[in-house]
Amino acid sequence: MIRITHQREKCIGCNLCVEVARNRWRMSRKDGKSTLVGGEDNKGFYTVLVGDDEWKENKYAADNCPVKIIKLEKV
């Protein structure tokens, strides 16, 4: 399994994560920030556990996020 963490408040809404991992990320039309699909809020840090098959595209999103607010861990 993989744990994805998103520090949502710091998102600048550039759309990169949505472009590269479109099943896991959605752009909110409410506040223009990216939303982690299935993520649960823990004091501003959204987390979700997903299968290993999602590693590649989300790792790409994490590595290339311009504000470095996406974290991936194998659990």
Partner 1 sequence: MTKNTKVELMAPAGSYESLAAAIKAGADSVYFGIEQLNMRARSTNNFTIDDLSKIHEICISNNVKTYLTLNTILYDHDISLMKKIIVAVKESKIDAVIASDYAVFNQAKNEGVKIHISTQANVSNIDSVEFFAQFSDVVVLARELTLKQVESIVKEIKRRKIKGVSGGLMRVEIFAHGALCMAVSGKCYLSLHSNYASANRGACVQNCRKSYVVTDKEDGVEFEIDNEYIMSAKDLCTIDFLDKVIQTGVNVLKIEGRGRSADYVYTTIQCYREAVDSIADGTYSQEKVIGWKERLSTVFNRGFWDGYYLGKSMGEWNDEYGSKATKKKIYIAKGLKYYEDAKVGEFKMESHSITLGDEVMVIGPTTGVIQTFVDELRINNNQTDSVKKGDVFTLPLLQKLRPSDKLYKLVDAQ
Which stretches of the chain bind partner 1, using CB under 8 A?
11-16, 27-33, 64-67
Report how far residue 46's alpha carbon sits from residue 30's, in angstroms, rounded to the nearest whole number. Answer: 17
Report how far residue 32's alpha carbon sits from residue 50's, in angstroms, rounded to the nearest whole number. Answer: 24
Q: Which is nearer to partner 1, 43 or 74 (CB)?
A: 43
Q: Which residue's entry shows tokens 């982690």?
A: 36
Report how far residue 8's alpha carbon sits from residue 23's, in angstroms, rounded to the nearest whole number. Answer: 17
CB of 34 to partner 1, least distance (A): 9
CB of 19 to partner 1, least distance (A): 9
CB of 10 to partner 1, least distance (A): 9
